[in-house]
Amino acid sequence: MMLAGLGYDSHRLAAGRALILGGVEIESEMGLEGHSDADVVTHAVIDALLGAAGMGDVGQHFPDTDERYRDADSIGLLAQVMRLLAAEGLQPVNVDVTVIMERPRLAPHRDAIAARLAETIGLPRERVNVKATTGEGMGFVGRGEGVAALAISSLHRA
Site residues, Mg ion (CB under 5 A): 9, 43
Is residue 121 a contact partner of residue 92, using CB atoms and an 8 Å limit?
yes
Which residues lie closer than 8 Å to 133 by C-beta, 6 or more apart? 98, 99, 100
**Closest Cα partner for 82 from 124, 53, 110?**
53
Q: Provide the β-strand partners of residue 134.
A: none
Task: Calculate the alpha carbon distances from 25 to 19, 53, 60, 93, 134 in Å.
Answer: 6, 28, 26, 26, 19
Residue nearest to Mg ion according to CB distances in the complex = 43
Q: Which amino acid is at 121?
A: I
Q: Smallest distance, Å, CB 34 to Mg ion? A: 6
Closer Cβ to Mg ion, 9 or 102, answer by number: 9
Closer Cβ to Mg ion, 21 or 127, answer by number: 21
Q: Smallest distance, Å, CB 146 to Mg ion? A: 11
Q: Smallest distance, Å, CB 22 to Mg ion? A: 13
Closer Cβ to Mg ion, 30 or 127, answer by number: 30
Closer Cβ to Mg ion, 127 or 151, answer by number: 151
Length of the chain, please? 158
